[in-house]
Structure 1
Amino acid sequence: MMLHTLRTIDINSSNKKKKNLKTSEKVSRMSDITDIFDGHVRIFKTTHSGDVYQMRMYVQEEKRYIRKSLKTRDKQLALSIAQKEFIFYQAKILNGEKLFSLTGNEMRERYLKYVQTLVDEKQISVGRQTNIKTFTKHYLEFVGKNTKIQNIDKKFFQGYRSHRQSKKKDITMTVVVNESITIKQMYKWCVNEGLIQSGYVPDFGTIKVRKNEVRRIGYTIEEYRQLVDVSKRWYSKVSKEHLLRDEEIYYRKTIRDFIVLMGNYGFRTGELRLLKWKDVKVHQDETSTITIHYETTKVRESRTVTGRRGDVFIRRKTYSKFTDNDDYVFSHFRRNDVITKELLYDYFNKLVKDVKLKYVDFDTKKTLYGIRHFWISLHLLVGKVDVFKISRFSGTSPNQIYKHYDNVKDEQISKQILSYNLKFDKNNEIILDDDFKE
């Protein structure tokens, strides 16, 4: 009979300066050991378990031991229970299941490390990475940080939609669907990495998305004018007693210039945030040619556009500390790094409050991203450039414009219909006004 000794040491000390430090040793010894299934399973007693038999099984695939009490003092019964437990666990292993599970938080952390490698290798954009971080954060709020992912029933995820609606009343089902897709991608990665059983796919059930649910809400022309009107002198309102006056002025000027460039180019916020000086060329007529690289854009396709307000870039160089070619156009005040989305939105929200004070009808629910929607909607309404050219300039597809902005075209068509008189005579013949021109 083998004798195996495990030693553990407990040190209790709340003050390292105590002279009389007491150390206790607890030694747990195995006895009455019996190995079965060629040594894969061992039953035994310990000095701490009394006469109750214990079981230990080594899982080669996961390099860990399963240990559990067999809850009996009868050796024959203990052997029988251990045999059944071994068969039970072996069936799970053969089925591709994991016996030891990560927590929700551990899985997310591992997945985000993988996502970071995709960003580093220019496989996905920083904007996409930000979305993944946000979506998987909502996942953790739903399942719980310490929940063992192996123990989550697939159908549990059918409650995700109502959970998100309870947290955000105005959330669209399009957003919920996008979040569910990201969560499924995380689980698929875990399956491929062998972190979870093969074939596990969260079941979100049916999530119905209403047609035209995600029609974009951009600013009106008047709202955009109000936003620019307040932002252009907003920095001058900073108190002379402000402890960080120069920094506050810098960020107020930054949000002003950010708004103007979005309004003139229709950039996504991430595209403009990640723009570097080497990607900007200002011409003598104060137009500027800007290159958006594929790794910084949502659609993973580079584009070069020329537009107005090159003077904004010239102006920005007069008050930014970081203006070398490899520096970001929109950098932090104190360090040579891109301004964070959180900081940018913080100043935008502060600005919006001041706009509301001056213009009481200003819609504070619209976001900074709404300026991109304003740009696209404006050019659709003007109708001087076709949808394909607008989509190319703004870095989206014609289908996306038709899907999300067709309400703008509806308004344009309605105005055209109302621009002439059409009626039927008594014989139901169509009559148009004489001044109607095609």
Structure 2
Amino acid sequence: MGKTGLNDSAEAAKPAKTASNAPKGAVTDSKSFRDGLIYLYQRADFKKPTWLCRVKIPNGSGYVNRSTGTGDEHKAFKFADDLYNQLLVKSLTGEAPPGKQMGRAIQSYIERLESQPHKLSIHYKVLLLKRIKPFLERKSFDDLSTSLLSKVVDEQIALTKKGTLSPNTIKRTYTDLKHFLQWCIEEGYITQMPRFPKVNGVASSRPHFDAKDWAKLIRQLREIVKVENGAIRRDRMMLRDYVLILANTGIRVGEARTLKWRDVTEIGGGNGEAAHVTLLVSGKTGKREVVARSADIKTYFKRIHDLRVEELTVEGKPKPKIDPNSLVFCHKDGTEIGTFKKSFAALMKRAGVERDSYGNLRSLYSLRHTYATFCLQHGVAVYTLAKNMGTSVAMIEQYYGHTTNVASASELTKRVKRQASGAASSLSWLE
């Protein structure tokens, strides 16, 4: 081993500056070893003199930068030399080049996702990666650990207004991170998947509307459209049918946002039976056909359809036909309604149904949970329901397992004589 001095480094032509006159971040001292493969240096912005090292990746491109954690030159060199030997062993055994920062990989993964056909699941993955990029982009793949992955979630929690994330949201975050890291393995950034933290928390039932509160909500839906102001009435009419359609189909908020008239069709019918309404939606699990629970849902779609025809009619001209490629839930100018969140929250407040019996705050997604709960109570098979909702049987059983006993009531009580006074009242899904 021999020192080659500063002649092997880019700083060779620059005189070393003293800590007293050096600008912040400037190199105040430096040493070069192994013909420039190892470079030690100290910076002016460190209160306590500490050697940093830059080590060339053997048989690869780029460098690994580390703090040696010591101001002793001999200890610092040993740290850097050990690091070089570790990199050399990994290189000789064919392991992925270590030390690469995650920023470029994250950006490449985002660009790959954005080049794919639009799907809600891809949108969520891109959103997550963009959020965590500032936290991870300057970290090395060598830093990947259970602790670091846990800190990623801590960073996400810090960004929320309420300062918490549900166990289910944390699980989804880790699932999307696993997809990213699996891609990193395929691209050669890492050789194996790191161990993920355990997510604590027992899955609880999701806030939905029971029969009593659903009736209160329906009454308010009838009342809110009884206003004179045209613009306000228009928004409330759209909200009314939006709520009824989501509650009768169980589609996700994101799926409703992009629903077009061409996606609404009828199947079956004839022989005295009503046709069923189906919706072709695109969501987290890709495209699927959703069968509405009741044929009466046509009433809600027709009200929106008639509203749009009225808005698009020009005086003195025949009534126009609705463009099948236009959005179902839209503003007067046809543009997408971003969210009904605030108007739905105001509706629940007026109806006095903001929270369920456990004190959990309801939201637009409670309409989907209400659909699932009522279907199970009325005997819909779990597999059939999961397929229609675009989720798994495991998810249905995990979050709605408390409801399946009601669905199995006939089996559980088949040896018990039924009395009319003990029969459960049915829930009307109609307005």
User: What range is the shorter-chain TM-score in?
Assistant: 0.5 to 0.7
Q: CA RMSD in A?
A: 5.0
Look up the match of 1:258: 242
Q: How many residues in Structure 1 have an aligned counterpart in Structure 2?
A: 360
Q: Shift of residue 260 of structure 1?
A: 0.6
Are the aligned partners of 2:354 and 2:361 in contact in 1 as well (CA < 8 Å)? no
CA–CA separation in structure 2 for the residues paired with 1:59 and 1:353: 62
Match among 199, 204, 210 for residue 220 of structure 1? 210
SS in 1 for 2:352: helix
Write the deviation string for residues 301-349 of structure 1: whole angstroms up to 9, x where unpaired.
Answer: 632535322122222123446841112212355454x433xx2323322
Match among 387, 396, 405 for residue 401 of structure 1? 396
Matched, 1:202 2:200: no
AA paired with 1:281? Answer: T
Are the aligned partners of 2:327 and 2:334 in contact in 1 as well (CA < 8 Å)? no
AA paired with 1:148? Answer: K
CA–CA separation in structure 1 for the residues paired with 2:355 and 2:179: 45
1:331-346 aligned within 5 A: 331-334=330-333, 336=335, 338-340=336-338, 343-346=339-342
Match among 303, 311, 314 for residue 315 of structure 1? 303
Match among 367, 376, 379 for residue 371 of structure 1? 367
Match among 277, 281, 286 for residue 289 of structure 1? 277
Are the aligned partners of 1:97 and 1:198 in contact in 2 as well (CA < 8 Å)? no
Q: Shift of residue 230 of structure 1?
A: 2.0
Write the deviation string for residues 99-148 of structure 1: whole angstroms up to 9, x where unpaired.
Answer: 34134xx654443332223334xxxx31x2343245546756xx835641
CA–CA separation in structure 1 for the residues paired with 2:354 and 2:102: 53
- Distance 1:326-1:67 versus aligned 2 partners, 3 A rule: same
SS in 2 for 1:144: helix
Are the aligned partners of 1:44 and 1:53 in contact in 2 as well (CA < 8 Å)? no
Write the deviation string for residues 184-242 of structure 1: whole angstroms up to 9, x where unpaired.
Answer: 22122233334x3333x3322333564xx24343211222222232234435558x6xx
Q: Shift of residue 272 of structure 1?
A: 2.4
1:87-166 aligned within 5 A: 87=85, 89-91=87-89, 93-94=91-92, 95-103=95-103, 107-120=105-118, 125-126=119-120, 128-133=121-126, 135-136=128-129, 139=132, 144=135, 147-150=138-141, 152-157=143-148, 159=150, 163=154
Identical residues among aligned pairs (%): 16
AA paired with 1:327? Answer: S
Structure 2 length as normaliser, TM-score? 0.64
AA paired with 1:215? Answer: S
Look up the match of 1:173: 167
Are the aligned partners of 2:277 and 2:297 in contact in 1 as well (CA < 8 Å)? no
SS in 1 for 2:368: helix
CA–CA separation in structure 1 for the residues paired with 2:307 and 2:328: 11
Rg larger in structure: 1
SS in 2 for 1:318: helix
Are the aligned partners of 1:53 and 1:69 in contact in 2 as well (CA < 8 Å)? no
Unaligned runs of 5+ in 2: 18-28, 38-55, 313-321, 423-431
Structure 1 length as normaliser, TM-score? 0.63
- Distance 1:99-1:324 versus aligned 2 partners, 3 A rule: same
Look up the match of 2:219: 229
Write the deviation string for residues 237-262 of structure 1: whole angstroms up to 9, x where unpaired.
Answer: 58x6xxxx83x554433322211101
Are the aligned partners of 1:267 and 1:372 in contact in 2 as well (CA < 8 Å)? yes
CA–CA separation in structure 2 for the residues paired with 1:33 and 1:388: 72
AA paired with 2:135? Answer: G
